[in-house]
Structure 1
Amino acid sequence: MILRIFFLVLMSVAISTAQPSRKILYNGVIHTATEEAFSGYVVVNGETIEKVGRGAPPEGNRVDLQGAHLYPGLIDADSALGLVEVESLRATRDQTEVGSLNPNLEARYAFRAESDLVSVARSQGVLVSGVNPLGSVISGQGSVMRLWGWTWEDMTVVPAWTLSLDWPRVTVKPDAKKAEEELEEIGKSLFFVNDAFEEARSYIGSEVEDVKWRALKPYAQGKRPILIRVQTPAEVRSVLEWTDKMKVKPVLVAGRQIDEFGTELAQRKIPVIYQFLFNQNPTRIERYDEHYRTPKALMDQGVLVALSPSGLAFDAREVRDLAGRARAFGLTELQALQTVTLNPARILGVDDRLGSIEAGKEATLVLCEGDLLEVAPKVTRAWGAGVELDLSDRQKELYQKYRKHLIRD
């Protein structure tokens, strides 16, 4: 009898705290990421968006947004969130595996759901991330992860969206001997990659299955995108030549001077994840704002561009700031928002359910007291698949702790 009463009490508490399956978010400025912002409402039914409209909201369970701005959840297309906690502590770094050939490894298995950096990024409106390995020649497969949930299984959106390939560094050596040594190393790396891809293409399975060739095969056949990090124009040129030869689908992670190849990238339909917007110093022959203007230059040439801080876990919280800075240097409001919502969703292959506020898509939303692409306005609420999320994080806890200490003294 006592157990029965206890069970009924638990059920009543669960029912009283459960969030309604259908709610109308109204009296807000709606930023859909597909059109200009407008005053309106969003009807959320369960995990999905049922309707987006202007004017008076329908009757039902209404949630007053009080004039705040509603956005799709932000997306960081290239990050180490959940794989790295403290860069200086090797025991907390799971982004890199030993060996040069690891196509069978998937980032989701190493993802740490309890990471403090995940909650910090979430509190800044970043609700989805492409979590990608690096450090080997063929480092493994990146996963698309939600930044809320109990376990990595709960948080996985796409188990394997890309293959992470570290392209050999191509620099200009003034010393002829060093230049020759560098070219030799580059040749060895490319031979290793080409040989692995040819082996994977010809793999047809056997009684003793080879998990590496099986994992690599769809990328070698051009069925899935390959994430390639490049730093110099020489590296970009070598990647373009290699991808044309191998008939694969690249996604470039790049920084400065990538806009020089905008026309070629657009013709080949190669998307770019543009990084290091904040920490690239211009050369003596470049404009001071060269790297700030690059996203606009690429998009003007028809390239699909997503902005990502640096690939480091602790930088993921800066996603909104990147879009704001790019807007200040030429992008329209809509274009800037798309670089951290719809465009990364397209690159990650999840734009059918994430990246914009549209009927039928997942209700993963962020509410900000003002312009989300500005530094000062705070993210006040967020919903992941229709469920309101906890926006507390380690930094807020420390702020409150020391604030109380200062007030007491």
Structure 2
Amino acid sequence: MNKYILSLLGTALGLNCLAQANISPAPAQDKKVIVMGARLHTGNGKVIENSYLIFEQGKITGLGDATVVRLDPSGSTLINASNKHIYPGFIAPVTNLGLVEISSVKATMDYSEIGELNPHIRALVAYNTDSKVPATIRSNGVLMAQITPQGGTISGSSSVVQLDAWNWEDAAIRTDDALHLNWPVTPKFRGQGSRAGVPSAAELSSRTQNTINQLDQLFAEAKAYAETEKPVVVNGRLAAMKHLFDGTQKLFITANAQKDIISAVKFAKKYNITPVLVEGDEAYLIIPFLKENNISVVVKEPHNLPVMNDDDVNMPYKNAGVLANAGINVSMSLHSYWQLRNLPFMAGTVAAWGLDKEKALQTITLNTAKVLGIDKTAGSLEIGKDATFFISDGDALDMKTNKVEKAFIQGRDINLDNLHKQLDKKFSDKYKAGKQ
């Protein structure tokens, strides 16, 4: 009984805290804006030391070196960003953001469904734009995310959203961009028989192979269904996989051991699909194979311990740099919504462990946009792309200096207030007043 009472109290306190923040989405841009004087990081490796950036109706219409042009600011809003930095909006792939609000309250978790093979599940329709979490991560420059289901062998389809919207329809940038598959894990220990209820390696291998056989059958049926012009019987699960085979939807496969990565890639190639590898702890051991098959890698957060006992203790820090320096397209993932505010600092860690600073920036901007299929409109600051960027008083990849002062999503000047800032002000004011 006490457990249930505590759970109810926790829910009530959580909802009470959430009710304190009331931040409405910004209105559409109605006036041309010129930002002058900032150090502009384009997101594609280039830096403009003293820049100008012009955007109208949500699109970038001009940018370049402010020292060689004369701009007419009449009829425009002029922002002086001297001695500050401009960055493209950071993008968080493979995350359950907006699908869970309070991790200790089951009723607020909507990122996983019952069953193992759920290609028909769409994370987008469960995305909660009223969540108070996105506002906290926007304050560190994360302005877009790939909302991703989790659990099972096939989790369902993700969608890419911008993080300032009234509802999921407004938020969507690219719907059902990818299907997510968790590759069956190959057993790593040996044994002749079961003991104390522990299955043998042979039994585990048999289970793994059975799962792969089920996947093979499902993909074969889905491919045949996709090639059928007018199916006699409508099958929602198979129809949800149709765009894997015409190239308009991507396949993200989570795998870590090198043997599993190779098996997963060969499985996808069998159906003429070039997958995106997620996590890939041992990807650095098979770089030639990944390059040969044109595989992009979404590495998991570098602030982790090594996976194997004999791994280099600093391998999680080095992993992204090793892959990127070898010519592989690398982006960075933080699966848990509560870690996303640290995404830029993860990229900063990668920069400190072997990757050029601007290339590290690309792991959370343009590289990610390419993987998600939104690089024509997002991921870098270029004429014609969305005006989704932010202004920081310091280096956005450095925890000590990151200070986002202004942010725009598709030209809209968004509110950077959030629950954390409100609570900080509340208790700072309390102690400034001398109250205990």
Tell me the TM-score normalized by structure 2: 0.86
1:43 counterpart (36, 54, 77): 54
Alignment partner of 1:86 is 2:102:
yes
Which amino acid letter does the alignment assign opposite residue 348 of structure 1?
L
Which amino acid letter does the alignment assign opposite residue 328 of structure 1?
A
Greater shift in the superposed pair: 62-71 or 358-367: 62-71
1:171 counterpart (187, 192, 201): 187
* Alignment partners' CA distance in 1, 2:104 and 2:292: 41
Q: CA deviation at 1:42?
A: 0.3
Alignment partner of 1:386 is 2:396:
no
Identity %: 29
Q: CA deviation at 1:144?
A: 0.4
1:194-213 alignment runs, 5 A limit: 194-203=216-225, 204=228, 205-213=230-238
Q: CA deviation at 1:334?
A: 1.4
Q: Which position in structure 2 is the counterpart of 1:5?
A: none
Alignment partner of 1:29 is 2:43:
no
5+ residue gaps, structure 1: 1-16
Greater shift in the superposed pair: 278-287 or 54-63: 278-287
Q: CA deviation at 1:219?
A: 1.6
Q: CA deviation at 1:185?
A: 1.1
* Alignment partners' CA distance in 1, 2:246 and 2:35: 45
Q: Which position in structure 1 is the counterpart of 2:21?
A: none
Partner of 2:38, secondary structure, is strand
5+ residue gaps, structure 2: 1-26, 194-199
1:294-313 alignment runs, 5 A limit: 294-309=319-334, 311-313=335-337
1:187–1:157 Cα change, 3 Å: same
1:243–1:208 Cα change, 3 Å: closer
Which amino acid letter does the alignment assign opposite residue 31 of structure 1?
H
Alignment partner of 1:132 is 2:148:
yes
Which amino acid letter does the alignment assign opposite residue 72 of structure 2?
E
Q: CA deviation at 1:217?
A: 2.2
Q: CA deviation at 1:308?
A: 1.6
Mapped contact 2:296–2:328 kept (Cα < 8 A): yes
Q: CA deviation at 1:19?
A: 5.3
Mapped contact 1:145–1:156 kept (Cα < 8 A): yes
Partner of 2:103, secondary structure, is coil
Q: Which position in structure 2 is the counterpart of 1:183?
A: 205
Which amino acid letter does the alignment assign opposite residue 249 of structure 1?
T
1:282–1:183 Cα change, 3 Å: closer
Q: CA deviation at 1:255?
A: 4.4
Q: CA deviation at 1:286?
A: 2.7
Which amino acid letter does the alignment assign opposite residue 117 of structure 2?
L
* Alignment partners' CA distance in 2, 1:293 and 1:279: 11
Q: CA deviation at 1:253?
A: 0.7
Which amino acid letter does the alignment assign opposite residue 397 of structure 1?
Q
Which amino acid letter does the alignment assign opposite residue 98 of structure 2?
G
Mapped contact 2:274–2:293 kept (Cα < 8 A): no
* Alignment partners' CA distance in 1, 2:374 and 2:387: 14
Tell me the TM-score normalized by structure 1: 0.92
Q: CA deviation at 1:231?
A: 2.3
* Alignment partners' CA distance in 2, 1:19 and 1:243: 43
Which amino acid letter does the alignment assign opposite residue 281 of structure 2?
R
Per-residue CA deviations over 1:190-239 (Å, capped at 9, x if unaligned) read 11111111111111243542222111122256553211111222321221
Mapped contact 1:221–1:248 kept (Cα < 8 A): no
Greater shift in the superposed pair: 251-260 or 103-112: 251-260
Give the number of equivalent residue pairs.
392
Partner of 2:275, secondary structure, is strand
Q: Which position in structure 2 is the counterpart of 1:246?
A: 271
Mapped contact 1:44–1:51 kept (Cα < 8 A): yes
Partner of 1:347, secondary structure, is helix
Q: CA deviation at 1:27?
A: 1.3
Q: Which position in structure 1 is the counterpart of 2:16?
A: none
Mapped contact 1:26–1:64 kept (Cα < 8 A): yes
Alignment partner of 1:64 is 2:77:
no
Mapped contact 2:90–2:364 kept (Cα < 8 A): yes
* Alignment partners' CA distance in 2, 1:220 and 1:92: 34
Mapped contact 1:104–1:211 kept (Cα < 8 A): yes
Mapped contact 2:91–2:144 kept (Cα < 8 A): yes
Q: Which position in structure 1 is the counterpart of 2:304?
A: 279
Q: CA deviation at 1:320?
A: 0.2
CA RMSD of aligned residues (A): 1.7
